[in-house]
Amino acid sequence: MKKIILSLILIITMTGFSNNKLNNGKSDPNELLLKLFDRNHEYNMRTYPEWATYEGDHRYDDKVTDNSESAILAGFDTTKAFLDELLSLDYKALSYDNKINYDLYKSTLEDALEDKKFNWYYMPLGQQHGIHISFPQIINSQPLSTYNEYLKFFSRLYQFGKSIDNTIELMKKGIETKLMPPGFIMEQTLPQMLNVIKDNPEESVFYSPLIKENKLSPEEKSLASNELKKIITEVINPFYIKLYDFVKNEYLPACRNNAGIWSLPEGEERYRKLIKDHTTLNYTAEDIHTIGLNEIKRILGEMEKLKDSIGFKGSIDEFNNFLKTDAQFYYTDKDDLMQGFRDILKKMDGKLPELFGRLPEAKYDLMEMEEYRAASAPAAYYYSSPEDRSRPGYFYVNTFDLPSRPKYTMTALALHEAVPGHHLQIAIAQELKNLPKFRRDLGFTAFVEGWGLYSESLGYETGMYDDLYQKYGALTFEMWRACRLVVDTGIHEKKWTREKAYEFMRKYTPNSDKDIQSEIDRYISWPGQALAYKIGELKIKELRAKSEKTLGVKFDIKKFHDEILRNGAIPLPLLEKNIDEWISTQIN
């Protein structure tokens, strides 16, 4: 998830650009195109240094992104300059592969420029995004072993105040232009900020790296300790308090009351754009709403059959309530929950060679979600490994409120977030060295999340759902994604209230009440994103069915999966074109 968000940020926040003319009539357009991609990557690293750190590029570990409005606007100018340079190339002279690279790069830049008029950056905070959450996460990717590395860390922390001031200025512009999130969303950010503020600096998340193993001498550790305590006391805490006070006293009273994006300026146009961005298809909100209702009906029939197979005599509603309330379905110790996921993934790791010809080199691990963001976060996230493989990819597990973390959905969740889901797909994309860097970073949501949901279904054919409750859990996850189609379009197109959306989800899923509320609020904060899962999964399943029917005994599941993944994350129409071409090669 983080990978997708940051990939989008890179496009918007590029600043500075060389005005070298690309097509001077003498150079090979293919070579010039690749040089443009290289320059794009260099500017991205320099202008979004936190992302560079995350990616394993540590040249800018002492810097933070300039998040001022002037820098953001300069980024749009840069995007336009990149696009102009791209358009000056001789498209006809490009190779087949570079025409694909060109088309994807062009559409990415054009999409970013179309967003300029919407001023999304005037709403920089939410319960699942924003500097109050993202800034502490630096400690998970920044090297902090030597004293020189700590000096860079100190420099970065000292710039936190300026970043907060810029954030507040953007939010003030949001008040002026009526670009405001709902108040009930912003209320959730307040405890998140308070969770970071610690009177004792040694209890701060920013101090925690010093407690871990490092290469510091006793003298260096003492110096680092004193400096971190000073920064936490004089910079981190005061500016978190400043942001907290602003949100509570000025911003919250101005927030909007309605949940849907329709209540923002140009709300309908915004939602149409987001539907296209997240699905890569030309669906209307009504199209998606109908697909969701049809999928709910189909999945409900599967759930009825499985409930009967389990031997439960009551209705689906009664069975779902049984799953929600019976203690046997919940851990009471978070270490047991984490170990449960490890056991599931160890089993799935052994199944991967049955499904894939190519497996990623990158490793993955589990990580407990940080306390300061867990209360408003979903059940899990995946954060990718940097390309230098200096650390693994992380499957973050939310251990907050264990009675809302059912055992019976654990297999589906693990398959989605780790393998064969996000870790496998994203790590393979990173390792496709035949692709330019921007292609390896692309995160078309319909592909990435569609693959994640499709990966859950691979548990059926690998014996991962032999336990019927885990199998039912997989169906509840599929139902959850089908409900998303109805709820997201209901909120943002049909003007459903938050309460109506909640009741709809509660009717069709056995998710805990807390989980449902967190999900509803996520759809409200991130319009359109929730549509990508089911839409992408349906397309991948459609392409698999077409391949199996056309190829018959020649169909090879390993080759099919490798073909799906060999171009990284791409728009669904391009994926369909590629699979159609692949089918023709397999026939011949």
Residue 583 scores a pLDDT above 50:
yes
Determine the pLDDT at residue 22.
43
Determine the pLDDT at residue 26.
64
Quickly state the pLDDT bin for 131 (edges 50, 70, 90): very high
Q: What is the 3-state secondary structure (H, E, C) of 536-588?
A: HHHHHHHHHHHHHHHHHHHCCHHHHHHHHHCCCCCCHHHHHHHHHHHHHHHHC
CA-CA distances (angstroms) from residue 522 to 232, 290, 367, 417? 30, 21, 22, 17
The tokens of 157 are what? 């922390």
Residue 24 scores a pLDDT above 60:
no
Q: How far, in Å, CA of 548 to CA of 546, rounded? A: 6
Q: Chain-wide mean pLDDT for the chain?
A: 94
Residue 425 neighbours by CB distance under 10 Å:
25
Determine the pLDDT at residue 337.
98
Contact between 527 and 492 (Cβ < 8 Å): yes
Determine the pLDDT at residue 18.
37
Contact between 316 and 300 (Cβ < 8 Å): yes
Over residues 229-250, mean pLDDT: 98
Determine the pLDDT at residue 8.
37
- Stated as kind and residue range, the H or E segment containing 110 is helix 96-114
Determine the pLDDT at residue 165.
98
Quickly state the pLDDT bin for 187 (edges 50, 70, 90): very high
DSSP code of residue 454: H
Instruction: Name residue, tokens 């498209």.
Output: 91
The tokens of 513 are what? 């009440």
Strands (E), 282-436: 364-368, 380-383, 393-397
Cα–chain center distance at 30: 32
Question: What percent of the chain is predicted at pLDDT more than 70?
Answer: 96
Cα–chain center distance at 547: 29
Segment 283-323, tens digit of pLDDT: 999 999 999 999 999 999 999 999 999 999 999 999 999 99
The tokens of 286 are what? 């009504």
Over residues 384-412, mean pLDDT: 94
Determine the pLDDT at residue 167.
98
Which sequence spans correspond to the domains of the chain? 2-263, 271-536
Determine the pLDDT at residue 213.
81
Phi/psi of residue 87, nearest 5 degrees: -65, -15
Q: Which amino acid is at 450?
A: G
Q: How far, in Å, CA of 497 to CA of 520, rounded? A: 10
Segment 100-114, tens digit of pLDDT: 999 999 999 999 999
Over residues 512-523, mean pLDDT: 92
Determine the pLDDT at residue 6.
41
What's this model's pTM, rounded to 2 decimal places? 0.92
Question: What percent of the chain is predicted at pLDDT more than 90?
Answer: 91
CA-CA distances (angstroms) from residue 240 to 47, 169, 237, 335? 24, 15, 5, 31
Quickly state the pLDDT bin for 343 (edges 50, 70, 90): very high
Ordered DSSP codes for 236-304: IHHHHHHHHHHIIIIIGGGSBS--SGGGSTTHHHHHHHHHHHHH-S---HHHHHHHHHHHHHHHHHHHH
Residue 124 scores a pLDDT above 60:
yes
Determine the pLDDT at residue 378.
86
Over residues 415-421, mean pLDDT: 98
Residue 9 scores a pLDDT above 60:
no
